[in-house]
Amino acid sequence: MKKLWMAAALAGLAIGAQAKPNVLLIMADDFGVGSINAYGAPENLVQTPSLNKLAESGMRFTNANTPGAICSPTRYALITGRYAWRGPLPFGVVNVVDPMVVETDITTMPGFFQQMGYSTAQIGKWHLGYGDQRPVDFTTKLTPGPNDIGFDYHFGLPQNLDDMLRVWIENDGVYGLRSKKMSAYAKSFYGKPYMGFDAPQRSREEASEVLTQRAIEWMDAQEEDKPFFLYFASPIAHHPIVPSERMRGKSNCGAYGDFIQDLDWSVGQLVLALEEKGVLDNTIVIFTADNGGDIPANGAVRPENQAIAAGLKLNGINRGDKHTIYEGGCRVPLLVSWAGKIKAGEVNDRMVNIVDLYATLAHLATGKEQDLKDAIDSSSFAPSLVGKQQPERKPMVSSNAAGLHAIRSGEWKYIDSQFPDGAPQGLRNHFKKEAEPALYNLEEDPSEEKNVIDQYPEVAEKMRETLNGYRDGKGSR
C-alpha cells in the first residue's frame, strides 16, 4: 500500500498547465519549536488547534533550520534562495529607514512564480526595506520595493508591530497617505516617538487580524483559472506582546500564550478561506518561522519570561534563542500540507533550511527540479515531501545577529569564530562568548552542552574548509 501511495504521489508531481497548485506560505515572527502542541507545547498552557490540524494533514519537520537567527537575513534568503551574508546583510537587520536589500536584477521566488503565470502577493511583515536611499522618504513613491521583485500586490508592516512608522505600506506607498505633513507623537515600545505620518495609524492589538483579513480578501479576489502565490508574514510573536481582545486571557501562560493563540487563529482563518473558495485541495500550505523564540534578558515581568515560568519552553530543548548562534536561534517549526500529494501525519527528520523553500516550491509547482541560477543556496526537498528517499542535504550555514557562522553537516555542527568585516565593536563584544570555535554532535548532544572540538579536530577542520568555500562564492545547494 505504501509503495502504491508513493508512486501515485510521485506521478502527481508531473503538474499539468491546468493543475498548477496555489501556494500559501505563512511565516511567523520569532517563533520557536516549543510553542505548538504538535511539537510538544502543553495543551494546558496554550492551544494551537489550527497548527495541529495542519501538522496532522501533512508533514511535520523536526530538523528545520533558518539561515539566520534574526529576521531580515532569513526573509532575504527565503525570497532569493541565497544567504544574506553573501551581499547585503553580513550582520544585523534592515533598519526602519534603510533601503530595500533585495536585488532587482535576480530572479526571486515571487518572480519565478510570476513568470509561471501566477498572481503573487506579499502581505504582512516585510523588514527588507524600501527604495534606494537612506534615509527613506516615506512620503514619496517607495521604489524599488516588493512590486519590483515579483509581487503583484503588497500590503505590509514595514518592520514590526511597533516600529516608529506606525503605518501600513500598500504597494509603493504609505497606505492612505493624505499629505507630506508629519507630526511626531507618543513613544513606541522601543522608546522613540512615532513619526506621525498624515495617514491611518496602525493598532498593535488589531494588526494581525487586519493582515489576515487583507490576505483573505486578496485570495477571494483571485480568478479561478489562475494559480496564486501568497507569502503571508505574521507579525506574531515578535515583541511587543499585544494579544487581541479576542484572545486576551484565553491561554494559561499569560499574554505570550494568548499571542500564540492569535497566530493560530490567523492560520485557521487563512486555511478556512481556502476551503470555502474550494481550492484547499490544490494548495500547498506551508507554516514556518524566521528564527527561534526571543527570551528577553531584562526582567521576569516580560510576557515571554512569564510564559517560561509557567512551563512553556519557547524553543523546546534547544540552547539559546533569537539572535544567537545556537539551535534555539535557528531551529524552527516547519509544516507542509498538500492534499493527496503529501501523506497526512508524516514526521520527517531530514535536515532542511528555510532557504530551501524557493527550490522546493518551484519543484513542486512545475513537477521537476528547476535550475535556479541565482538561488545558489536553495536545495529542493520536494522528493522527501512525497515519500521518496533523497541524499543527505549538503552542509548548510546559519548565522547569528553579529554575523558569526555555524555550519551543519549530518549530526555535526561547527561554530566558527570569524566576525564579518565591518561588524561594529559593540556587536563583537556582545557576542564574544559565541565567537569561540566549537563542535557539537547534535544527535548525541541536541542541547549543545558539550564542545567536542578537541576530540574531533579533523571534523572541525573539514567543516571549516567547506564553510570557507561557501564564503568564497561556492553555492551550498
Beta carbons of 41 and 34 less than 8 angstroms apart: yes
CB within 8 A of 454, min separation 6: which ones? none
Asked, as a colleague might, if the bond just before 135 is cis with ω within 30 of 0, I would say: yes
Residue entry with cell 496532522: 56
Could you give the angle at the alpha carbon of 317 between the alpha carbons of 316 and 321, nearest 5°? 70
The grid coordinates listed for 28 are 511567523
Q: Which residues pair with 353 in a beta bridge?
A: 65
Beta carbons of 356 and 380 less than 8 angstroms apart: yes
Q: Which residues pair with 121 in a beta bridge?
A: 153, 230
* C-alpha R_g of the chain: 21
The secondary structure of 359-374 as a DSSP string is HHHHHHHHSS----SS
Strands (DSSP E) found in 29-159: 59-65, 119-125, 153-157
CA distances from 172 to 124, 275, 361 (A): 14, 31, 27
Residue type at position 12: G
Residue entry with cell 547534535: 442
Rounded Cα distance between 191 and 139, Å, is 23
Q: What is the pLDDT of residue 11?
A: 47
Beta carbons of 321 and 295 less than 8 angstroms apart: yes
E strand or H helix at 429: helix 425-430
User: Which pLDDT tens digit goes with each residue over 348-399?
Assistant: 999 999 999 999 999 999 999 999 999 999 999 999 999 999 999 999 999 9
| Phi, psi of 259, deg, nearest 5 | -65, -45
Strands (DSSP E) found in 323-382: 331-337, 346-348, 352-353
Rounded Cα distance between 169 and 8, Å, is 43
Largest Cα span, the chain: 67
Q: What is the pLDDT of residue 13?
A: 57
CB atoms within 10 A of CB 312: 24
Rounded Cα distance between 423 and 107, Å, is 29
CB within 8 A of 153, min separation 6: which ones? 119, 120, 121, 122, 123, 147, 171, 218
The reply to whether the predicted model has a pTM over 0.85 is yes
What is the pLDDT tens value at each position of the chain, 477 positions in all?
Answer: 444 444 444 444 544 444 899 999 999 999 999 999 999 999 999 999 999 999 999 999 999 999 999 999 999 999 999 999 998 999 999 999 999 999 999 999 999 999 999 999 999 999 999 999 999 999 999 999 999 999 999 999 999 999 999 999 999 999 999 999 999 999 999 999 999 999 999 999 999 999 999 999 999 999 989 999 999 999 999 999 999 999 999 999 999 999 999 999 999 999 999 999 999 999 999 999 999 999 998 778 899 999 999 999 999 999 999 999 999 999 999 999 999 999 999 999 999 999 999 999 999 999 999 999 999 999 999 999 999 999 999 999 999 999 999 999 999 999 999 999 999 999 999 999 999 999 999 999 999 999 999 999 999 999 999 999 999 988 888
DSSP conformation class of 100: P
Rounded Cα distance between 413 and 459, Å, is 10
| Phi, psi of 109, deg, nearest 5 | -60, -50
Q: What is the pLDDT of residue 294?
A: 96
CB within 8 A of 472, min separation 6: which ones? none
Rounded (to 5) percent helix, strand, coil in the chain: 30, 15, 55
CB atoms within 10 A of CB 420: 17
Beta carbons of 211 and 217 less than 8 angstroms apart: no
Q: What is the pLDDT of residue 476?
A: 83
Residue entry with cell 476551503: 275
Rounded Cα distance between 157 and 147, Å, is 15
Could you give the angle at the alpha carbon of 44 between the alpha carbons of 39 and 45, nearest 5°? 75
Q: What is the pLDDT of residue 19?
A: 81
